[in-house]
Chains A and B, each alone.
Chain A
Amino acid sequence: MSIRLSVATPFLLLLLAACTTAPPGKGVPYDAFPETRNLTGRVLPLDTAVFRYPFRIRVQGDKAVMLDLHGTDHLFHVFSYPQGHYLSSFGKRGEAPHEMISAENVRWKEDALWVLDADKSEITRLGLSGDSLLRRETVSLDKNILRALDFAVIDDTAFLIPDYSGDARFCQVSLQGRLLGKFGSIPSADEEALRNARPALAQAWRSFIDYNPRNGVLAAVTQLGEVVEVYNLRDSTHVVRIGPHGEPEFLVSEGYSLPMGIMGFSDVQVTDSAIYAVFHGRPFKEIAASVRKGIKLPDGGQYIYVFSLDGEPLCKYVLDHAVYGISVDEEKGIIIATDVNRDDPIIEYKIQDLCEYK
């Protein structure tokens, strides 16, 4: 018996050692969605093709505004929806006053349109005048806000901007551009990076955000990895969900973050009943290999993940196009998406029933 024990004990110890796993992240993991639905899109014909990289689309009433991330002359174009007739362009590219160096996002707020220029550190409000949009005011952001890469307008009182410094998760900014305060923290399990490389960590955790004033829910999704954060600003709850691809992976070089791992999310929208997020899931290694071989991989995500307003996975849409930005209208049952790989870049998906708890 003693011989058997002496043989078995080291064996069991070795077995336990082999079972040791990496420490879990700070969020609640999710593995799979309870339901998968395939969607086939309809390409919306446009009467002009002026886009280089249609990154965002926002629809309000009969007008659709497209943000062209790499536009040469103008960064925004307005179309009639659903007819697809070109109406006007704005956001002239340049460094002169009233011109824009870059554009990160665009948001309707009633009849006004807000646009963010990270390189000028400005948020501009435009108003509709017929089919054109005219500049109404430009807000210069506080110098203490480091590179604003997305924004949301919170209840007519403030902007929320992801904190790129790594000190916190969000900056709260007055509508006049003054930094009011910061809150939250990057929910990373990488204690070493949290201690010694916060700016690089914040760059790697660059997130796209959306806020719905009707339910007070703010969602943030990471561009790298697969992390979804849900903040309920009414009851101050915060949920972090981490998908199978985990936290953003990165390498630090001279204080900068170099992306590793996978391309994660590219857009998010909080509706009245759910959170919709475009997910890519393509490893950078695969993209690099395709570039080396001269193979053109489609750019974008073929998945739209749907989460409940408290962060539970509800369903996964599998698309027939790789898309970047989305505009979800649950009442009409339509998701409009942008496809950067096509000359006709607007794709319309019809959703029959909304994804719900089973």
Chain B
Amino acid sequence: MKKTYFLICVCMVCALVGFLSLRTGQKASDLLLMNIEALASGEGNISYTCAGLGSVDCPGTQVKARLVAYYVY
């Protein structure tokens, strides 16, 4: 009987750890979302640069690049 309860407790701890890690992921995701919203509303800053020959439109220009590299600060 003690063994059964021990196993259940182990399972609960594992599930709790998994759940908390998911919540942590959610926090990161929310943070990113807030960051994006802040950028969209002009409260944040982002710098980007376009590199290489490619087919991706470089924002706000007539250049087509391989990569749009950006940095959030």
Contact = CB atoms under 8 A, between A and B. Distances in A.
A80 to B, nearest CB: 27
A70 interface: yes
Interface in B40-55: 40, 42, 46, 48, 51-55
Interface string A249-273: 0011111111100010010000000
A223 B56 contact: yes
Interface stretch (A13-21, A177-185, A310-318): A13-21
Given A11-B11, A14-B16, A18-B15, A53 B53 contact: yes
A17 B19 contact: yes
Secondary structure at the A interface, as helix, strand, loop or mixed, is mixed
Interface residues of B, number: 33
Nearest to B23: A17
B17 to A, nearest CB: 10
Interface in A84-102: 101-102
Contacts of B67: 284, 287-288, 291
Contacts of B52: 291
B28 interface: no
B36 A70 contact: no
Contacts of A266: 55
B15 A258 contact: no
Nearest to B45: A253
Interface in A185-240: 192, 196-197, 200, 203, 206, 223
Contacts of A200: 40
A284 B60 CA distance: 19
B30 to A, nearest CB: 12
B11 to A, nearest CB: 6
Contacts of B70: 251, 253, 258
Contact of B46 (A7, A196, A197, A258): A258
A14 B8 contact: no
A305 interface: no
Contacts of A20: 22
Contact of A11 (B15, B22, B42, B55): B15
Contact of A252 (B5, B8, B40, B69): B40
Query: Considering residues A192, A200, A253, which has the most beta carbons from chain B within 10 angstroms of its beta carbon?
Result: A253
Contacts of B66: 287, 291, 299
A17 B22 contact: yes
Greatest chain A CB density within 10 A among B15, B16, B18, B42 is at: B15
Contacts of B64: 69-70, 102
B36 A258 contact: no
Listed residue (B18, B46, B57, B69) with the most chain A CB atoms within 10 angstroms of its CB: B57
Contact of B68 (A18, A258, A340): A258
B55 A324 contact: yes
A291 B55 contact: no
Nearest to A325: B55
Contact of B59 (A8, A258, A324): A258
A259 B56 contact: yes
Nearest to A10: B12
Contacts of A320: none
Contacts of A263: 56
A206 B57 CA distance: 9
Contacts of A197: 40
Nearest to A292: B69
Interface of A: 7-8, 10-11, 14-15, 17-18, 20, 52-53, 55, 69-70, 101-102, 119, 149, 192, 196-197, 200, 203, 206, 223, 251-259, 263, 266, 284, 287-288, 291, 299, 324, 340
Given A7-B12, A288-B69, A299-B66, 13 more contacts: A11-B8, A14-B18, A18-B15, A53-B53, A69-B53, A203-B59, A252-B40, A258-B70, A259-B56, A263-B56, A266-B55, A284-B68, A291-B69
List 4 tightest A-B contacts by C-beta distance, closest first: A256-B59, A14-B15, A253-B46, A252-B40
